[in-house]
Structure 1
Amino acid sequence: MFGEAWDWLGEPNRWSWSDPAGIPYRTVEHLGFSALSLVVAAALTIPPALWLAHYRRAAFLASSVVNIGRAIPSFGLIILFWYLASRWELNTSFWPLLIALVALAMPPLFTNTYAGVISVDADAVDAARGTGYRERQIMFGIELPLALPVILAGARVSFLQLVATVAIGAIVNNGGGLGRYIVDGFAQGVGGYGEILAGGVAVIVLALLCEGIFSLITRFAVPRGLRVETTRQPQMS
């Protein structure tokens, strides 16, 4: 199997940026679906979660959303939206996977935004309100920056989940990013084991790289005063 995977990786078109058989081509496709879904989900969830948390409303909704998100099977969503898109004569190569991915990314973003804003120090909010800040200025100038570490943690969870789910979407999608290799390998039977192995390793490597990139984003996007200093050692007198 490892020899077959190595031979498969050595094929001439395997590292093409323009050929759908190339790993770079499929990686860009994979990341494009994941990033687009995360942006759409963030636009749909962060503003209402920020508003609800600022006014301390819908606490039960915030706690329920994450439980609902955990209970929904990602593969079931993809199949459902593929069926609806085919019935409505929509583009089944794009919309079913995108809508399913957005639905999967929304719960962590919503709950983390709500929890992050709720945890902001009330004294800081009261001080801003006492100096004449309007409610909108407090939300976007005080609460949102202070809640940013928690929001980015939710975004990281969502994005890694999206990276894994795009691969599953190859079952109903002509694209599917790196998951295309896994599906095509299974379709070949025993002769496709090498492709399955290579495709699975590619998805794992991509997920690990995305985890590292999000760690860097968190490091540089979070205000310096909010970073937890975990490497400081006590000084000897």
Structure 2
Amino acid sequence: MDLIAGALIYLHSHQNEFGDAVWTHLELSGLSLLLGLMIGIPFAILCARHAKLSNLIMSLVNTFRVIPSLAILIIVMPLLGTGFAPALIALIVLACPPILINTFIGIKSVDQEILESARGMGMSARQILMKIEIPIALPLILSGIRTASVEIISSATLAAFIGGGGLGTFIISGLSMYNFSMLLVGALPVALLAILSELLFGSIERVFTKYKRA
């Protein structure tokens, strides 16, 4: 209780800094998820169309997936320096694998008989993609987005290590000064945002899964 009281007191006296940190954290997370979608989904479609290319891209994606976020930050620092941009790049790299892999699996799992029927009806490749493949794969795509969003929100705290801002600033400062009330000011909102993201995308996923089963 003393820690929570201390966190509330600290929060009350640093409202502006906290507001800026929350905004930066949301901006980092939202932008990286959006750009991850813009990169991951087209590449997944490309992989689903070209088997040879999919082996190369999937191997590359799985390689990036095992690299820790902090290591990615350190790798991009010599190229982009410190601040918002390298943190954003690292989070995009983190966002792409679950989105790309789930989208690829979802599209590849579409029944070939359905696709053949669509082609027989004269549908173009674009129409098949937009009206058949994407809708059928949507629950898996949403699952990938949900995973990516939680990972991004949690890992965005590491942006503070290279001056990217966000709620991680309170966590790192709190740890370095042994001020656990300050640490809670950063850690609790991050946990809350991750939970809210999980609930939001989980609910959307369940809606589309229910629609698919109906």
What TM-score results when the alignment is normalised by the length of structure 2?
0.89
CA shift in 2, pair 1:43/1:149, >3 Å: same
CA shift in 2, pair 1:62/1:174, >3 Å: closer
Q: How many residues align?
A: 213
1:96 to 72, 81, 86: 86
What is the rounded CA distance, in whole Å, between the counterparts of 1:141 and 1:62 in structure 2? Answer: 26
What is the rounded CA distance, in whole Å, between the counterparts of 1:54 and 1:60 in structure 2? Answer: 12
1:81 touches 1:96 (CA, 8 Å); kept in 2?
A: yes
Task: Say whether 1:116 aligns with 2:103.
Answer: no
2:170 touches 2:183 (CA, 8 Å); kept in 1?
A: yes
Unmatched 5+ stretches in structure 1: 87-91, 230-237
What is the rounded CA distance, in whole Å, between the counterparts of 2:204 and 2:20 in structure 1? Answer: 24
Cα deviation 1:166-216 (Å, max 9, x = unaligned): 0011111251x221110111232x3x1221234222222221111011112
Q: 1 or 2, which has the higher helix percentage?
A: 2
Identity of aligned residues (%): 34
2:21 to 2, 19, 26: 26
Amino acid in the other structure paired with 1:67: N
Unmatched 5+ stretches in structure 2: none
1:184 alignment partner in structure 2: 173
What is the rounded CA distance, in whole Å, between the counterparts of 2:205 and 2:163 in structure 1? Answer: 32
1:84 alignment partner in structure 2: 79
Query: Which aligned runs of 4 or more in structure 1 are off by greater than 6 angstroms?
Result: none
Amino acid in the other structure paired with 1:109: I
What is the rounded CA distance, in whole Å, between the counterparts of 1:52 and 1:31 in structure 2? Answer: 31
What is the rounded CA distance, in whole Å, between the counterparts of 1:129 and 1:138 in structure 2? Answer: 8
What is the rounded CA distance, in whole Å, between the counterparts of 2:128 and 2:103 in structure 1? Answer: 15
What is the rounded CA distance, in whole Å, between the counterparts of 2:52 and 2:93 in structure 1? Answer: 22
2:62 to 67, 72, 80: 67
- Which deviates more from structure 2 when the two are superposed, residues 195-204 or residues 103-112? 195-204
Amino acid in the other structure paired with 1:181: F
1:56 touches 1:118 (CA, 8 Å); kept in 2?
A: no
What is the rounded CA distance, in whole Å, between the counterparts of 2:186 and 2:201 in structure 1? Answer: 23
Offset, 1:66: 4.7
What is the rounded CA distance, in whole Å, between the counterparts of 1:217 and 1:65 in structure 2? Answer: 30
What is the rounded CA distance, in whole Å, between the counterparts of 1:107 and 1:209 in structure 2? Answer: 22
What TM-score results when the alignment is normalised by the length of structure 1?
0.81
CA shift in 2, pair 1:34/1:53, >3 Å: same
CA shift in 2, pair 1:183/1:226, >3 Å: same
Question: Could you say which structure has the greater relative contact order, defined with CA pairs below 8 angstroms and 6 or more residues apart?
Answer: 2
1:212 to 186, 199, 202: 199
SS class of match (1:171): helix
Amino acid in the other structure paired with 2:31: L
1:232 alignment partner in structure 2: none
2:190 to 203, 214, 234: 203
1:225 alignment partner in structure 2: 211
Amino acid in the other structure paired with 2:126: R
